[in-house]
């Protein structure tokens, strides 16, 4: 994962609407995952990173960090994002599909 990611948001991403606003930590997750994607990646590619890396990115510390980690990702997984599809309405999806 990158230490200083640069993300250029496309029009669809900028027009996307989430039903609930993202928290600072949730936004950090989304932007970090966006930085992992390469235009040459296959569809439905799985992206992997260690839990320790996420602790550092999200500033999670303490004895209950596993619980904090789970709750942050669980809350993000429940939020729906609406992405406009030209001529076809909206794609309703979740920010992330799974965390293992």
Per-residue pLDDT tens, the chain, 100 aa: give them: 555 555 555 555 544 555 457 888 988 898 888 888 888 888 888 888 899 999 999 999 999 999 999 999 999 999 888 888 888 888 888 888 888 7
Cβ pair 5, 37 in contact under 8 A: no
pTM greater than 0.85: no
DSSP bridge pairs for 85: 89
Q: Tell me which H or E stretch contains 66.
A: helix 65-78
d(CA 70, CA 64): 10
pLDDT at residue 55 in the model: 95
pLDDT at residue 19 in the model: 47
Measured in whole angstroms, how far is the alpha carbon of residue 54 from the centre of its chain? 12
């Amino acid at each position: 994962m990158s230490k200083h990611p640069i993300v250029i948001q496309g029009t669809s991403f900028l027009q996307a609407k989430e039903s609930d606003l993202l928290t600072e930590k949730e936004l950090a997750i989304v932007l970090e995952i966006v930085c992992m994607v390469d235009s040459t990646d296959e569809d439905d590619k799985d992206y992997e990173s260690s839990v320790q890396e996420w602790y550092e990115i999200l500033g999670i510390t303490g004895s209950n960090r596993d619980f904090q980690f789970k709750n942050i990702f669980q809350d993000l997984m429940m939020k729906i994002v609406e992405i406009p599809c030209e001529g076809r309405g909206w794609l309703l999806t979740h920010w992330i599909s799974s965390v293992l």
